[in-house]
């Protein structure tokens, strides 16, 4: 299971890197979106995967059962998703404006350092 | 009481941002709220600094959740110093902005976003939790994105794409590091992590995380192979915006580097020191060489930010207490000086009609006051005595010689000379030579608020120069706290360790 998720992380990172390096504005933005998802999946996998043991506190007990899943990575991911969503929304609008101002989807035509 | 002191530098910009957003329609209200908020932040930061100097490291557990489970806010001397200088620069830029920012920028919400930026910066300095640091970085970044591109225009938008991409890449690295570290050690509290990482095996196993963090913060700080987004983006923003970026944003990256590589992964023993030394030398050299080929005021200054970052990281790489102290001294000097140079750059553009050096000229005879305003931070940046930059370089070079890093000291000296060359280039072109034929006519008056803000920062530069000894003793105390983090750990974790 961990291996499967680890492979998925690798595929997502690889796909996002490919998109980032394509030199096209829209593929760059898609790549950025995928990149954050790769990081989220990575946190999920690194936090330890537990199947079928939700971190619930049984009645009368003070702490969850031994061996239940760690809820903190999921809380981290949730926070990170919210942030990534906001940033992506901004980046999309910026991309729209930059695409209109630059008149092309080709990033190379932009030039990092206008004269 | 200490809780209030720690929360105030975060709360005040937040309230100012919200108040500014509520008063969006009125330019006058915007300006008042913007400056008042920055003024209150200055008071709060001074109080925090005084208390930290008096009582040692302060910590507060937000929401009453005990460390390491809750989020901790903690201020040691380094954090308090950084918040103080942030507030100082924030106030100066806010005052400058009342004159420089036009109605349309105000209508696009300059002041609310400016305060959100200060909020993120102060939060990053004060947090004692790695994930929380990530969140503050994002707060700061989103505000900086908006400030950078809100003026519109092709240049700002296209360089904004590079800026956003590189910073999001850095955030992804940071987030991955946070996730892996939590998976390994089960904690995100910096103090708790420091104790867990001091176990012999843990640090070795976490080396990939250290590298991820180095890359993540290296992008934000503008270290050698990762700095290209910076000089492309900064000159396209408004003057007030680029001044606060130049002063604060990269230095948050440097602060994060200092924090992580003293508390979590102390440099002293590992293979990290040679790497950081090489990176710092390359950063110094490449920044200053790139600056030498530019002929545009703020583009020259932007490349100099990169080169100066190299000096600070050199102090971190040497890792002795006196080198750390000189890095801290350098950061403080640099924030004040660099912000001021960008502010003066705005004044030069105002009277000279642009920033292209070929079109400027004769400002020295026409504008004596402006010449003085430029000369103070420029000479300080180049390291002329008795200004703050001289002592910053002196202490750093002394620490370098003590640590026997002769090559790095040689690079630092050469880069200092080249910095002087760049500054004198701006001086010769903008102030000395006669006005070129195609030079544009100048605007008659410089706004008083803008000149005042810049003059105040120049005075701070001079005072830091003449009072270098006392600032040095504070920086030394801050470096001691970093070098022996017992007080930090005790303040955060109580009597546990």
Q: What is the pLDDT of residues B368-380, one digit of tens each?
A: 888 889 999 999 9
pLDDT bucket at B439, cuts 50 / 70 / 90: low
Q: Who's near A87: CB < 8 A, 6+ residues apart? A: A36, B138, B141, B142, B145, B168, B171
Chain A residues closer than 8 Å to B176 by CB: 38-39, 42-43
Q: Which of B116, B120, B165 to mutate to test the interface with A (most CBs of A within 10 A)?
A: B165
User: Which of B113, B137, B179 has the highest number of chain A CBs within 10 A, making it the mutation to test binding with A?
Assistant: B179
Nearest-10 crossing angle of helices B368-382, B406-426: 170
Residues of A contacting chain B (CB within 8 angstroms): 20, 25, 28, 32, 35-36, 38-40, 42-48, 70, 72-73, 76, 79-80, 83, 86-87, 90-91, 94-95, 97-98, 101-102, 107, 110-114
Question: Which DSSP helix (H) or strand (E) runs through B75?
Answer: strand B72-75
CB contact under 8 A, A94 and B149: yes
Candidates A45, A80, A98; nearest CB to B157: A98
Is the pLDDT at B444 greater than 70, yes or no? no
Report the pLDDT value the prediction gives residue B495, as an integer from 0 to 100: 60
Bigger pLDDT: B218 or B368?
B218
% of chain B exceeding 90 in pLDDT: 54
Cβ-based contacts of A111 with chain B (< 8 Å)? 158
Residues above pLDDT 70, as percent of chain B: 97
Name the residue of chain B whose CA is nearest to A45's CA: B183
What is the spatial distance between Cα B401 and Cα B18, in angstroms, rounded to a whole number?
A: 50
Q: Could you give the 3-state DSSP secondary structure of residue B484?
A: coil
Q: Which of A20, A26, A27, A39 has the most B C-beta neighbours within 10 Å, making it the best mutation to test the interface with B?
A: A39
Q: Which candidate, A73, A75, A66, A70, places its Cα nearest to that of A50? A: A70
User: Would you place residue B7 in the very low, low, confident or very high pLDDT band (cuts 50, 70, 90)?
Assistant: very high
User: Could you give the CA distance from residue B296 to residue B299 in angstroms, rounded to a whole number?
Assistant: 5
Whether the CB-CB separation of B168 and A35 falls below 8 Å is answered with yes
User: Phi, psi at residue A31, to the nearest 5°?
Assistant: -60, -40
At residue A112, the pLDDT reads 47
User: Quick one: B289 exposed, middle or buried, by C-beta within 10 A (0-12, 13-18, 19+)?
Assistant: middle
B171 to chain A: which residues are within 8 Å by CB?
36, 87
| CA trace torsion B448, B451, B457, B461 (10° rounding) | -130
For A36, the closest of B155, B172, B232 (CB atoms) is B172
Does the pLDDT of residue B104 top 70, yes or no?
yes
Reduced to 3 states (helix: H, G, I; strand: E, B; else coil), residue B188 is: coil
Contacts of B295 in chain A (CB under 8 A): none
Residue B461 structure tokens: 């530069």
Range with top average pLDDT, B81-85, B268-272, B386-390: B81-85
Element at B74 (helix H, strand E): strand B72-75
**Residue B72, φ and ψ in degrees, nearest 5:** -105, 135
* pLDDT value of position B241: 92
**Residue-averaged pLDDT of chain B:** 89
pLDDT at B130 over 90: yes
Instruction: Name the residue ranges covered by the structural domains of chain A.
Output: 2-50+70-102
pLDDT tens-digit readout, B131-184 = 999 999 999 999 999 999 888 778 888 888 889 999 999 999 999 999 999 988
Euclidean distance between CA atoms A10 and B148, whole angstroms: 33
Q: pTM of the entire structure?
A: 0.93
Q: Which two tokens stand for residue A1?
A: 């299971």
CA closest to B356 among chain A residues = A115
The predicted-structure confidence for A12-70, as pLDDT tens digits, reads as follows 999 999 999 988 888 999 999 999 999 999 998 888 888 888 888 888 888 877 778 88
> In angstroms, rounded to a whole number, what is the distance separating the alpha carbons of residues B491 and B333?
28
**Does B175 contact A36 at a Cβ distance shorter than 8 Å?**
yes
Beta carbons of A114 and B154 less than 8 Å apart: yes
Separation in Å, CA A90 to CA A30, A33, A87, A97: 13, 12, 5, 11
DSSP string, B283-302: HHHHHHHHHHT--BHHHHHH
Q: How far is B342 from chain A (nearest CA, A)?
A: 19
Least confident of B27-31, B124-128, B214-218: B27-31
- Residue B99: band (very low, low, confident or very high) from pLDDT cuts 50, 70, 90: confident
A39:B175 CB<8 A: yes
Instruction: Give whole-number Cα distances, B174 to A88, B171, B272, B435, in Å.
Output: 17, 5, 18, 49
> In B, which residues are within 8 Å of A73 by CB distance?
179, 182-183
Task: Note whether B176 contacts A43, CB cutoff 8 Å.
Answer: yes
A75-112 per-position pLDDT tens digit: 899 999 999 999 999 999 998 888 888 777 777 777 64
Q: Which residues are within 8 A (CB) of B404 and not within 5 positions of it... i.e. 6 or more apart?
A: none
Task: Measure the CA–CA gap between B291 and B304, rounded to whole angstroms.
Answer: 6
d(C-alpha A88, C-alpha A30), whole Å: 9
Give the residue on B whose Cα is nearest the Cα of A24. B161
Burial zone of B86 (CB within 10 Å; 0-12 exposed, 13-18 middle, 19+ buried): buried
Overall average pLDDT of the B72-78 stretch: 93
Asked if the model's pLDDT at residue B231 lies above 90, the reply is: no
Structural contact between residues A99 and A105, judged by C-beta atoms closer than 8 angstroms: yes
Answer yes or no: do A94 and B164 touch at CB < 8 A: yes
Residue in A with minimal Cα distance to B137: A83
Q: How far apart, in whole angstroms, are the C-alpha atoms of residue B22 and residue B360?
A: 41
Structure tokens at B475: 């920086």
The ipTM of this complex is 0.91
Cα nearest neighbour of B153 on chain A: A101
Strand partners, B75: B58
Host H or E run for residue B59: strand B58-61
A20–chain B nearest CA distance, Å: 9
Question: What distance in Å separates the CA atoms of residue B235 and residue B162, rounded to the nearest whole number?
Answer: 14
The total of other beta-carbon atoms located within 10 Å of residue B198's CB is: 14
Residue B497 confidence (pLDDT): 42
Min Cα distance B142 → chain A (Å) is 7
Q: Looking up tokens 């002087």, which residue turns up? A: B420
pLDDT band at B348 (very low <50, low <70, confident <90, very high): confident
Residue B75 pLDDT class (50, 70, 90 cuts): very high
pLDDT at A114 over 50: no
């Amino acid at each position: 299971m961990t291996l499967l998720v680890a492979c998925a992380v690798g595929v997502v990172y690889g796909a996002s890197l490919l998109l980032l390096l394509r030199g096209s504005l829209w593929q760059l933005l898609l790549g950025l979106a995928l990149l954050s998802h790769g990081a989220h999946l990575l946190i999920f996998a690194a936090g330890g995967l537990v199947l079928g043991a939700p971190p619930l506190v049984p009645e009368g007990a003070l702490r969850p059962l031994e061996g239940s899943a760690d809820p903190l990575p999921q809380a981290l991911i949730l926070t990170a998703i919210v942030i990534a969503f906001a940033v992506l929304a901004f980046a999309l609008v910026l991309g729209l404006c930059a695409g209109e101002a630059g008149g092309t989807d080709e990033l190379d035509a932009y030039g990092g350092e206008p004269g | 009481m200490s809780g209030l002191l720690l929360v105030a530098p975060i709360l005040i910009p937040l309230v100012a941002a919200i108040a500014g957003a509520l008063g969006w329609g009125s330019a006058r209200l915007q300006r008042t709220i913007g400056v008042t908020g920055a003024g209150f932040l200055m008071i709060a930061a001074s109080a925090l600094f005084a208390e930290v100097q008096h009582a040692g490291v302060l910590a507060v557990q937000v929401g009453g959740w005990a460390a390491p489970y809750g989020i901790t806010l903690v201020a040691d001397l380094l954090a308090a110093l950084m918040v103080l200088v942030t507030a100082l620069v924030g106030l100066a830029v806010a005052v400058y902005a009342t004159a420089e920012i036009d109605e349309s920028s105000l209508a696009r919400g300059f002041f609310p976003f400016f305060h959100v930026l200060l909020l993120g910066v102060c939060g990053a300095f004060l947090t004692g939790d790695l994930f929380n640091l990530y969140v503050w970085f994002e707060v700061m970044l989103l505000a900086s994105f908006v400030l950078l591109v809100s003026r519109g225009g092709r240049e700002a938008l296209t360089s904004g794409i590079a800026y956003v991409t590189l910073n999001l890449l850095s955030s992804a690295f940071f987030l991955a590091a946070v996730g892996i570290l939590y998976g390994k050690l089960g904690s995100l509290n910096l103090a708790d992590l420091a104790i867990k990482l001091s176990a012999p095996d843990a640090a070795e196993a976490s080396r990939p995380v250290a590298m991820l963090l180095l890359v993540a913060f290296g992008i934000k700080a503008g270290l050698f192979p990762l700095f290209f987004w910076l000089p492309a983006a900064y000159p396209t923003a408004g003057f007030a915006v680029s001044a606060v970026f130049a002063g604060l944003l990269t230095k948050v990256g440097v602060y994060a580097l200092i924090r992580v590589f003293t508390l979590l992964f102390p440099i002293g023993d590992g293979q990290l020191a040679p790497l950081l030394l090489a990176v710092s030398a390359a950063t110094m050299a490449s920044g200053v060489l790139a600056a030498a080929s530019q002929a545009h005021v703020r583009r020259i200054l932007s490349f100099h930010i990169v080169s100066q970052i190299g000096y600070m990281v050199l102090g971190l790489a040497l890792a002795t207490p006196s080198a750390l102290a000189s890095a801290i001294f350098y950061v403080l000097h640099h924030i004040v000086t660099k912000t001021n140079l960008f502010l003066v750059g705005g004044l030069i553009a105002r009277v000279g009609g642009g920033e292209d050096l070929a079109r400027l000229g004769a400002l020295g005879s026409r504008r004596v006051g402006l010449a003085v305003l430029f000369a103070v931070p420029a000479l300080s940046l180049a390291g002329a005595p008795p200004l703050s930059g001289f002592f910053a370089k002196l202490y750093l070079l002394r620490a370098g010689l003590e640590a026997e890093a002769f090559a790095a000291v040689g690079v630092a000296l050469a880069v200092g000379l080249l910095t002087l060359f760049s500054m004198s280039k701006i001086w010769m072109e903008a102030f000395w030579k006669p006005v070129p034929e195609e030079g544009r006519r100048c605007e008659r008056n410089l706004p008083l608020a803008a000149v005042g803000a810049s003059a105040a920062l120049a005075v701070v530069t001079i005072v830091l120069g003449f009072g270098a000894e006392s600032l040095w003793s504070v920086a030394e105390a801050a470096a001691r706290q970093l070098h022996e983090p017992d007080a930090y750990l005790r303040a955060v974790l109580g009597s546990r360790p």
